[in-house]
């Protein structure tokens, strides 16, 4: 009886392992981002107040092995910076300023890129991503938590409140630490970004 029970348990374990690996193989492969359903959010703060908005993703893709992302690259179109908290002339003025040489110089540097180095799966749909962020031809490594879920040929990846020190990428306009006489016009060195990516095979 014990031998029969043991054989049954081994069989069940093998079956579930086979089913799991089969499901992994089904979801693995190259996934390409859908720019129309994906995007980046941003928020910058000043001594008094701040602003927030969006930026469009131009393109991107990742390799997924059924459990985690093994590699990938995304490009962000810096000419699409939009403000969500302002309207009319103030909105246009801020957007133009952010795309000017004072900040991201979108004409000279139209794309920001992020290249994935590794993604470590944690518990459930939680993971930790590490990669190389390039802004204005300056590249630095950043790491941040993400949620990741792959179902039926669709891979969804999201992240919130990723802190980026703009001065490390040569964006120093009105920096709180580099300019001491700006008073309440100083802008925080750190801004935050988030993203929502919808990718399909």
Interval 175-201 mean pLDDT: 85
Interval 83-90 mean pLDDT: 98
Does 26 have pLDDT greater than 80?
Answer: no
pLDDT tens-place string over residues 88-107: 999 999 999 999 999 999 99
Q: Which of 24-33, 46-55, 125-134, 182-191 has the highest mean pLDDT?
A: 125-134
Going from the N-terminus, what domains does the chain have, and what CATH number goes with each?
A: 29-200 (2.40.128.110)
Report pLDDT for 185: 77
Report pLDDT for 176: 80
Selected residue with higher pLDDT from 15 and 166: 166
As a whole number of angstroms, the distance between CA 68 and CA 77 comes to 26
pLDDT tens-place string over residues 29-38: 999 999 999 9
For 94-159, give the DSSP string. HHHHHTSTTTT-TTT--EEEEEEEEEEE-STTEEEEEEEEEETTEEEEEEEEEEEEEETTEEEEEE
Report pLDDT for 15: 41
Dihedrals phi, psi of 143, to nearest 5 degrees = -135, 145
As a whole number of angstroms, the distance between CA 44 and CA 184 comes to 14
Looking at every residue in the chain, the average pLDDT score rounds to: 89
Report pLDDT for 8: 46
The tokens for 169 are: 């990428």
Q: How confident is the model at residue 19 (pLDDT cuts 50, 70, 90)?
A: very low
As a whole number of angstroms, the distance between CA 154 and CA 127 comes to 17
Interval 32-47 mean pLDDT: 96
């Amino acid at each position: 009886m014990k031998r029969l029970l043991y054989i049954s348990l081994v069989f069940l374990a093998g079956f579930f392992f086979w089913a799991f690996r089969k499901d992994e193989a089904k979801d693995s492969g190259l996934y390409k981002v859908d720019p129309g359903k994906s995007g980046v959010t941003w928020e910058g703060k000043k001594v008094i107040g701040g602003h927030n908005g969006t930026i469009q993703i131009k393109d991107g893709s990742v390799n997924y092995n059924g459990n985690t992302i093994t590699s990938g690259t995304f490009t962000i179109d810096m000419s699409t910076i939009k403000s969500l908290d302002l309207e009319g002339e103030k909105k246009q003025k801020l957007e133009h300023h952010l795309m000017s040489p004072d900040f991201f110089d979108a004409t000279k540097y139209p794309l920001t890129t992020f290249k994935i180095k590794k993604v470590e799966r944690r518990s459930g749909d939680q993971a930790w991503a590490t990669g190389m962020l390039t802004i204005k031809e300056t590249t630095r490594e950043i790491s941040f938590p993400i949620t990741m879920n792959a179902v039926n040929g669709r891979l969804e990846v999201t992240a919130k409140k990723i802190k980026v020190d703009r001065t490390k990428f040569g964006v120093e306009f009105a920096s709180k630490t580099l300019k001491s006489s700006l008073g309440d016009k100083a802008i925080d060195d750190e801004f935050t970004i988030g993203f929502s990516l919808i990718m399909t095979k």
